[in-house]
Chain A
């Protein structure tokens, strides 16, 4: 398996624009997590899904952020409208049955810069 795949790797956008980050989890995994990492706040859990259903979105900073998982192999994190303070590295991770659910596999991340 190629691991968790995120796209794009880098995104530069202007304030006010819509940004969509994409994630393909490891096949067979039933948990998917979205994180945001900044120097100031570290790794923050934004939302996680189990079997494509959002379980906890309490970490989503505000209504400008939304996440979907239309099927087991794809998830998106959307920011609309984007703001400079959204600049961060966004990670997607997945975890599967047969393993402890605290063993998650992370993607390479998407570095988002909002100017």
Chain B
């Protein structure tokens, strides 16, 4: 089961771009990389998912290098409402074997005005 490592916390100011990097050195061939966001008193919410290269949606971009041993979540022009905990997950579609939806410690992003 691929383990992920993220910074514990990050600070930013409104309007800046925020990049959160996650390390997953033992990622397997079948593993996808998924990011979730969690606000206080709410359940985690899916943000973006990718397998390789770059994925972009209306909320964020996900950059994955060729070796897939890391990934970077990019939040453009953050606002105060982006203050949350961001989780990086690595897992096999279909939960084969011991793969499960396991959350690490996450990165606590604080956005200041």
Partner of A102, one of B45, B93, B105: B93
Partner of A100, one of B42, B93, B102: B93
Give complex CA distance A48, B101 in Å.
9
Partner of A106, one of B32, B44, B95, B100: B44
- Nearest-CB distance from A69 to chain B (Å)? 16
Give complex CA distance A17, B5 in Å.
39
Once the chains bind, are A43 and B49 in contact (CB under 8 Å)?
no
Q: Write out, one digit per residue, whether chain A residues 1-40 have a CB within 8 A of any chain B CB (1) or not (0).
A: 0001000000000000000000000000001010100000
Which residues from 49 to 98 on chain B have a C-beta closer than 8 Å to any C-beta of chain A?
A: 49, 87, 89, 91, 93-95, 98
Q: Does A108 contact B (CB under 8 A)?
A: yes
Q: Write out, one digit per residue, whether chain A residues 37-81 have a CB within 8 A of any chain B CB (1) or not (0).
A: 000001101001010000110000000000000000000000000
Which of B45, B95, B105 has the largest count of A CB atoms less than 10 A from its CB? B95
Which of B49, B100, B104, B105 has the largest count of A CB atoms less than 10 A from its CB? B100
Q: Does A93 contact B (CB under 8 A)?
A: yes
* A33-B101, A45-B102 known; A105-B95 Cβ under 8 A: no
A103 contacts across to B, CB distance below 8 A: 34, 46, 49
Mark A residues whose CB is within 8 Å of B.
4, 31, 33, 35, 42-43, 45, 48, 50, 55-56, 91, 93, 95, 100-109
The 3 residue pairs across chains A and B that have the minimum distance between CB atoms: A106-B43, A43-B103, A102-B34
Could you pull out 26 A-B pairs where Cβ atoms are within 8 angstroms? Answer: A4-B43, A33-B101, A42-B105, A43-B103, A45-B101, A45-B102, A50-B95, A55-B95, A91-B43, A93-B43, A95-B101, A100-B32, A100-B49, A100-B93, A101-B91, A101-B93, A101-B94, A101-B95, A102-B89, A103-B34, A103-B49, A104-B101, A105-B46, A106-B43, A107-B43, A108-B43
